[in-house]
Structure 1
Amino acid sequence: MKSFHYLFLILLLFNCSSKDNEELIEPKPDLETIYFPQINSTIWETTSISDLKWNENQLQPLLDFLEDKNTKSFMVLYKGKIVIEKYFNNHTSSSSWYWASAGKTLTSTIIGIAQDKEILNINDKVSDYLGNGWTSLTLEKENLITCKNLLSMNSGLDNSLGDDVSPSNLKYITDAEQRWAYHNVYVKLQDVIANANGSTWNTYFNKNLKDKIGMSGAWLQLNNLNVYWSNTRSMTRFGLLISAKGKWNNEQIVSEEFLNEATNTSQNINNAYGYLWWLNGKENYLLPNNQTEIKGSLIPNAPSDMFCALGKNDQKIYIIPSKDLVIVRMGESANNSNFALSSFDNDLWAKINQVIN
């Protein structure tokens, strides 16, 4: 009987010890979540290069390169916190600059928000919102063009006629989905938003995106195009929203489902293009004003999972999910005037890699 008591005591102690050990080795939750700056505050938390164990001695060569390449501002976020924030050539934190075609992604995001709210559906034809005759095409051909085609740049419209998007300048080359071509007809999506929700584009944009994440800036006419201007931190706020899968703090601004579609290949012609987002790491790509397929990744030196907003004269938002990074560059053209992608992207990533790897 005494042996049985000893055995019971040993088993009891072992069981308690096992539970204690389980509690000791239980993994702790990751407390380093994404940081979001407050809406109406200039305070933005930072983290240092040394804390991230990056190569601090390579920072100055990167900054010298940026300054030499006509950069006005450069920001790097890690999990929402500022790692690098620099201004060059008399530009300041309060200075406003144009996003150029990097702002196309603002339109894409607003379309996603409107679809989430069931105000529109991207698979509907554009004429459902703008009426017949928004192009010079026959009714049959015009009705082939959906909102998704404008997001994906495969409307089939002639992209060689300049920036004017009046009906007389929107002419047929081929049926929708048969050809990818970089075309400013995407701005008609702003009219779609206005008509679908019974308000102006600016009002809907401000209420549902700009004010929600604390952006500054405004849409202004530049060469007959509606172009967004803001300070650098506002551009970075937008990049942070997208990096956080459409969330700002605990509010889902745009659905993760839509962003997944927007940041993956949207058609079967240009693998490196989503819904007005450029995608790295694909086997081939097309460039604006060029129908020749180019083999290889869009920006070879950059991470393969990166997607980006690219604008004329090297306006950049790079989002790298695998590294929790958002990187923004504003300025004049680094080398020569360009539509979106340039050799500067790959050169810049060679310098960035020397810092972060």
Structure 2
Amino acid sequence: MKFPQYFSLLIVSSLLFACSNESDSDTEKSGIPAVITPVPLDTYFPPITRTDEWETVSIETLGWNENQVDNLYTYLEDNDTDAFIILKDGRIVIEKYFGDFTKDDNHAWNSAGKNLTSMLTGIAQQEEFLSITDATSQYLGEGWSSLTIDQELSITIKNQLTMTTGLDYNVEDAFCTDPECLIYLNDIGTTWYYHNAPYTLLDDVIANATNTDFNSYFSEKIKEPIGMQGLFIKVGYNNVFFSTARSMARFGLLNLNQGTWDDTPILLDTAYFNSMTNSSQDLNLSYGYLYWLNGKSSYRVPGSEVEFTGSLIPNAPADLYAGLGKNDQKLYMVPSLDLVIVRMGSASSEIQLGPSGFDNELWGLINEIIQ
């Protein structure tokens, strides 16, 4: 007896449905869980051979809120961002470029590059080329400023690292490093003011102490060992570092691992690293050795003599430390969350030399994703 074709299909479908139910039932009875991608717990270091190879981890795997990512992207784009990266344990979670900017394009770090100079100073000290308690004059010679000899000899490398030189920041050009621009205002170590000129002179201190070109020493000690690219370029009086966003992320990862890249020690001096990333003086608790610090009880900002009460970035984790540059160049490092976050672009609103309102707004959106 022959069945019509639709009866044959009905019988086959019923059998498949029965088998499917039986299979599902058997899986449930066996207790076999659904496949879940484990969260990698080890720290990943991308290869130093300057390839595109870099491990990623998904937002879903981390259990973060993917629904909030578009809000973050909209905010970044609306605020003239060129590049944005989030690393978790060294792996890329988010990497986004805007407009014509690409992962191969270089961007100015501006004052976020102060972090590079600070770490390089620590390396020069561990190699015994200098001590941060040395007088700056030991490496720049007599007459590098318009101070008296005694005043000049009182300024140390540590004063340059901590913005406590006492030099006059009210001069016509606060970036000027010529002797006539470097005049006495306050006793050394009695005031904190974000003064670029004494910081810039650290480059000459390091070059003279090591008897080598500043870029060459940086390349040998930091850039090449961790696979960065980029270059310090003279812009007026300033020495500005330019690199890709991924190179900035690499340096952030080096910091997150306290100066060690994978198994290669870069900055061995743990005492210096701890001093660099903690309050370096009592005048601005939110400042280390050229690093900005969150979670302190008060802070001062560039261009102001006022002390503000509270944390530098209230929305951000208390243990965050950062490189913060003009036009909102951001390098955030958060040890408690194993995060490195990079933002490069133009100014989000009004031009600021370091911290700005953009930091807190951005962290509000980041929290919506990671929490």
TM-score (norm 1): 0.90
**1:223 has 2:236 as partner:** yes
Give me the whole-angstrom Cα distance separating, in 2, the residues matched to 1:343 and 1:194.
Answer: 36
The Cα of 1:31 is off from its aligned counterpart by 7.7
Q: Amino acid of the residue matched to residue 43 of structure 2?
A: I
Task: Give the alignment of 1:148-297 within 5 angstroms.
Answer: 148-161=158-171, 162=173, 163-184=175-196, 185-255=198-268, 256-297=270-311
Conserved 8 A contact 1:144-1:175: no
1:102 aligns to 2:112 (yes or no)? yes
Q: Secondary structure at the match of 1:76?
A: strand
Counterparts of 2:170 and 2:342, CA distance in 1: 30
Equivalent residue number for residue 47 of structure 1: 57
| Match in the other structure for 2:135 | 125
Q: Which amino acid aligns with 2:362?
A: L
Cα deviation digits, residues 226-260 of structure 1 (max 9, x gap) = 10000100011001100111001101101332211
Matched with 2:316 is 302
Task: Confirm or deny: 8 A CA contact 2:206 2:214 kept in the other structure.
Answer: yes
* Structure 1 Cα separation of the partners of residues 305 and 194 of structure 2: 10
Corresponding residue to 1:325 among 339, 353, 358: 339
- Aligned equivalents of 2:97, 2:245: Cα separation in 1: 9
Q: What letter is aligned with 2:329?
A: Q
Q: Is the 8 A contact 1:97 1:230 kept in 2?
A: yes
What is the one-letter code of the residue matched to 2:193? A
Structure 2: which amino acid aligns with 1:232?
A
In the aligned structure 2, how far is the partner of 1:295 from the partner of 1:238? 30
Distance in 2 of aligned mates of 1:313 and 1:190? 22
2:316 maps to a residue whose letter is: A
Q: Secondary structure at the match of 2:159?
A: helix
SS in 2 for 1:221: strand
Counterpart position of 2:126: 116
Q: Which runs of 5+ in 2 are unaligned?
A: 1-38
SS in structure 1 of the partner of residue 361 of structure 2: helix
| Cα deviation digits, residues 71-119 of structure 1 (max 9, x gap) | 0000000010000000002110001110000001110010011111111
Query: 1:6-17 counterparts in 2 under 5 A?
Result: none
Gaps of 5+ in 1: 1-29
Q: In structure 2, what is the Cα distance between the partners aligned to 1:328 and 1:31? A: 21
Q: Which has the larger radius of gyration?
A: 2
CA deviations 1:320-346 (Å, max 9, x no partner) are 010000000000001111111111110
How many Å separate the matches in 2 of 1:80 and 1:138? 49
Deviation string 1:31-56 (CA, Å, 9 cap, x unpaired) is 83211101112200011111110101
The residue matched to 1:143 in structure 2 has which SS? helix
Using the aligned pairs only, state the percent identity: 48
**TM-score, L = length of structure 2:** 0.87
Q: CA RMSD, aligned part only?
A: 1.1
Match of 1:343 in 2: 357
CA contact (8 A) 2:260 2:266 kept: yes
Flag as ranges the 4+ runs of structure 1 deviating above 3 A: none
